[in-house]
Amino acid sequence: MELSALIDKITNFNGDVKAKPKDSNKPLKEYSGKTPKELRAMLKTMLTARRVEREEKLLLRKGYNRFFIGCGGKELIDVCFSDTLRKDDPFLGYYRNKAFDLHRGSSLWEKMLEAIGDSRSQVGGIQIPSHPSYPQFAILPQASPTGAHAMEAAGLGAAIGSPVPISENSDFPGGAYKRDAIVMCAIGEGSTSSTEFGRAVFYSVFNKSKVIWGIYNCGWAISVSVEEQYPDGDPTVAYSGLEKYGLKVMHFDGTDIKEALANVKEAVEYARSGKGPILANIKTTREGSHSGSDDQSFYMDPVELDWHTYNDCILKTCNTLIEDGIITSGEISELWNELDKEISGLSQKAVETFTPKTAEIIASKVYTYDFEQCQATWKKYRDSMNVDRAEKYKEYHQKKYFTSPEVPEKVGPMTMRFAINYTLFDIFTMTQDALLYGEDVADFSGHMINEIEKQKELKGKGGVFLVTKNLQREFGNDRCFNTPLDESGIIGRAIGDCFQGRRPFPEIQFLDYVSPAYQIFKDKFCTTYQRSNGQWKMPAVLRVTYGGYKQGAGAFWHSEGNLGTWMNIPGLLVVVPSNRINHIFQLIHEVSVYLYPLLLILPFNVFIKNTLKNFP
């Protein structure tokens, strides 16, 4: 129903009312321990989010807002999660989480700036409305391609759970988020059909991560019913087999405040305990069409439309709180009038002082290379290195990692494979912030990881081109390890490590193999710096190989040089080293401190003839 009609219906409540609780700060058992004061604050946020949504619609009609997408029907479950989770638990949402943002601390002024695409907003006008980025509230940058953000959540969950410490030189010394932090991922039921979501749930179980998957199931993805996506319209049916490994599957009503609070509390306690992740199918409504360009009355059964209207979480929550004496209808009316006046005023002020983004602002988020900044970061790591390199390489020689006991710059001519291997050893020796993982990169797998005596009798794998040879053997399985053979999962883990404060070196064997990860690679990995307005960066190096034509059945997919596909992605630096060893050392060292993801593409069979003269 229209918002004005909804408020009239609430303020004219004529049901039975219980006595008002005497102590506003006394926890109420029927509300899972929330106090009357907390409940009123939650309701205020819900009303605020709905009023902001109405203002966005008005701004759209006036031409100040270029796009509108609503959160109506999701406000209750948003505030339940926001109020129950810790303020520093990272949140990866989608474009329906306005109430979560506001309850975490986002200001109304910020929401007005976002609505009109103002460059003064935290996202700098780079994003369309409802795609925020708030590092101060642990709300990570959002993007329109939903589903892929689940892989970011899975990657972050794994990164938080990693036992490898993060240095004081990191952008987030000690790690951005605490070891017991819960990663909350909110997602619509339509996006759960994506490949990325399925893999993300798997990874959260596989890595025993503290992740909550909150499926806000209103039954419709634009005009597609959830019944056309899953049997019985239940997005959790495909994951029942994972329950024996710790996944907890929950189903509850996100329009009923008492039921929602009880289940959210249970979910948070379970996830925090480390028993496994949560997969929650939460019933919500859609109070309004998918977006400003959609009209659900064109395709939705009028009976179902009525169900959504009369199960509106704001209507039901207000009635429940009034009945239980938590708040009166008069207090709600007064609160609404105050919000209405405040938001109208802020909206007018934002429009009158509108500051558009400029070409320079956009360019500053795309062309960010700063050699001096890279050198300063590299120097910071080098200066804190408490290792005698010369002695270390003698030790590596004794362990038969290298044929010479000399530091690499004194070794002389070598193949590119050795140049890369030397460089990785140097970086891994220098800091624990570096991790490397991917397909076949480890020396050993399975039970052989722990068979140290048996390992001594074997050469070990170390990658199909041996460039990662002995890294796992020397630095351990927590820093160099094989991943499942899933390219999007490799990229997702790298994103998570960057968010947590590491500098990962994910590896995909061949350039052609990046294709299955194109969605998360292009739309998430490469855009993070831009869409967050520079608040987050992805200092990762993705190493792949190309060229060196191989005959036979695998020719196309083992040697193709499809560089054009990747060179045209904003936010990605594509680097191909020459056959000069000093270039290779300096290149890999430098890109490891870069802002953006880098696709380091290495051709086959290049022989290095020059000795290193200017090792940094």
Catalytic residues, by residue number, are: 558
Report d(CA 218, CA 281) in Å as an integer.
10
Instruction: For residue 468, give both structure tokens.
Output: 């990662």
User: CA 337, CA 463: separation in Å to the nearest integer?
Assistant: 65
Given its phi and psi angles, is residue 210 left (phi above 0), alpha (psi -120 to 50 degrees) or beta?
A: beta
Distance in angstroms (rounded) separating the CA atoms of residues 241 and 243:
6
The strand ranges marked E within 284-427 are 414-415
Residue 424's SS3 state is helix
Six-digit token string for 203: 């990874």
Residue among 283, 282, 304, 289 nearest 223 (CA): 289
**Closest of 490, 474, 579 to residue 541, by C-alpha:** 490
What's 13-55 look like in SS3?
CCCCCCCCCCCCCCCCHHHCCCCHHHHHHHHHHHHHHHHHHHH
Beta bridge partners of 480: 436
CA dihedral 474, 477, 479, 480 (to 10 degrees): 80
Q: What single string gives the DSSP state of each residue in 386-410?
A: ---HHHHHHHHHHTTSSS-SS-GGG
Question: Mapping DSSP to helix (H, G, I), strand (E, B) and coil, where does residue 506 land?
Answer: strand
Stated as kind and residue range, the H or E segment containing 542 is strand 541-546
For 420-466, strand residue ranges (E) read 434-438
